[in-house]
Structures are given as C-alpha cells and as structure tokens.
Amino acid sequence: QTVVTQEPSFSVSPGGTVTLTCALSSGSVSSSYYPSWYQQSPGQAPRTLIYSTNTRSSGVPDRFSGSILGDKAVLIITGAQAEDESSYYCLLYVGSGLWVFGGGTKLTVL
Amino acid sequence: EVQLVESGGGLVKPGGSLRLSCVASGFTFNTYTINWVRQTPGKGLEWVSSITSSSGYIYYADSVKGRFTISRDNAKNSLYLQMDNLRAEDTAVYYCARKTISARHFDYWGQGTLVTVSS
C-alpha cells in the first residue's frame, strides 16, 4: 500500500519562507506522479494551489511555488502571510487510475 | 461558474447504506472524470473513487472496494456514490471533485456532505 508522508505541522514567522515536503513510503516522488498541492482552511473545501509539480493554479499568489527536491515534492511559501495559516495537502497520481493524498501539514504563521 | 453540490449525507447505523449525490453545473459534465474524496473529522483527505466521463473506467480505494459503488448520469449532470455495509471508520465529509482534462489534478471541489456512521 502506498503511503504519502507530510510533516504533521510546521511553523513560520510572517515574512518567512517555509518548505513543506511530500514523500513516498517507497521510492522517490518524481514529476511522473503529477504532484499537486491543496490548501484547506477549517470548514472549507480544498483549494488547488499547485499542479503538475510546479504550475500555479489560476489566482494563486506567486509566493507559492512547487518543485521536486531530491526524492520529494515540495511546496515553498516565500514571504508567508497570516492568511497562509491553513492545512496543506499533497496529492500524487500513483497510476492505474489511483490517487493518494498525503496526511497534510498544518501550517501556523506566528 | 463551475459548481459541484453534494447531498445525501446523514446518520446511518453500522452495516447500513446511504447514497450520495453530486450535481454539477457550469461546465460540460460529460467530458470530465469526477472523483469522490472524503475527510474524517479533524483528519486528512482520502481519495475514495473515480469515474471517467462515459463511465468506461471506474476505480476505488482499497478501503471501500466491494462496499461502495460510484456511478453517474450524464443526462442529469449527476454523480453518485452508493455506500453499503457502512462502518464507523467511513464517518467523514464526502466531497466530489472534478479532475482536469489536460492535467492530473483536481481543480474544482464541492462543499461536501457529512456522513456519520454510528449506532
């Protein structure tokens, strides 16, 4: 069974930079997994931030970026703002029509 | 405006059944793959099932295979999830989510419907 791991929580100071990671239980994350990232505030549906590793969704501020670093997909927030305090989820397409979400990272901005 | 609106959630006893619906508007429903994704209260997201535009391909997570059935009616712009033999661990908010045509991600989500499995 494929498990996707994210940091459960992370803290960043306003204006700071944070790198959230998305790792596979076995093997490396590559662009072939089409990593995408979603932001979710409490009581809200997820919102797409990044897809296909590094493409920002329409309307997403350019302080959000995505890439592959080593064997993980990463979401980088450069110049974090108070409104970025949310949960962040990565999603990987693992083939054969199957998808797996990471466990999510709860980001605190303080 | 693209909209996905789920309904059908509620309280059901373990072993019971429930049918969720998702009505789509604002786009050509019969050209998109649609998914069900769930979120356990206070926990993370879990992909549940997927159905392609003409129902030609259907996929399930192992956790629901054999108990849940996804279907769609393109004439009614509607997606369904028949959930049988429900367990406590199926308690979650269930979202429908549209997969993009040109890329592999989910671009629009509904607001979700809560399913509670409890005696």
Per residue, the 3-state secondary structure of chain A, as one string, reads: CCCEECCCEEEECCCCEEEEEEEECCCCCCHHHCCEEEEECCCCCCEEEEECCCEECCCCCCCEEEEEECCEEEEEEECCCHHHCCEEEEEEEEECCEEEECCCEEEEEC
Whether B112 and A45 lie within 8 Å, measured CB to CB? yes
Mean pLDDT of A30-51: 95
Whether A101 and B44 lie within 8 Å, measured CB to CB? yes
CB–CB of A32/A61 below 8 Å?
Answer: no
How many Å lie between the alpha carbon of A89 and the closest alpha carbon of chain B?
8
Most distant CA pair in chain B, distance: 44
pLDDT at B79: 98
A101–B contact, CB cutoff 8 A: yes
Q: Is residue A74 pLDDT above 90, yes or no?
A: yes
Whether B95 and A45 lie within 8 Å, measured CB to CB? yes
How many Å lie between the alpha carbon of A107 and the closest alpha carbon of chain B?
14
How many CB atoms sit inside 10 A of residue A59's CB? Answer: 8
pLDDT band at B99 (very low <50, low <70, confident <90, very high): very high
Q: Is residue A26 pLDDT above 90, yes or no?
A: no
Q: Is residue B41 pLDDT above 90, yes or no?
A: no
* Cα dist from B82 to A50, B18, B22, B61, B86, whole Å: 31, 6, 12, 14, 10
In A, minimum Cα distance to B95 occurs at A45
In B, minimum Cα distance to A49 occurs at B107
How many Å lie between the alpha carbon of A56 and the closest alpha carbon of chain B?
12
How many Å lie between the alpha carbon of A90 and the closest alpha carbon of chain B?
10
Mean pLDDT of B39-44: 88
Whether B35 and A52 lie within 8 Å, measured CB to CB? no
- The string of pLDDT tens digits covering residues B47-92 is 999 999 999 999 999 999 999 999 999 999 999 999 999 999 999 9
Contact list, B109 vs chain A (CB under 8 Å): 45-47
Whether A52 and B112 lie within 8 Å, measured CB to CB? no
pLDDT band at A1 (very low <50, low <70, confident <90, very high): confident
A78's tokens: 């450069």
Q: Residue with structure tokens 């930079």?
A: A17
pLDDT at A98: 95
pLDDT at B103: 85
Compare CB distances from A51 to B47, B59, B103 and report the shortest one's residue.
Answer: B103
Compare CB distances from A97 to B44, B59, B111 and report the shortest one's residue.
Answer: B59
How many Å lie between the alpha carbon of B88 and the closest alpha carbon of chain A?
20
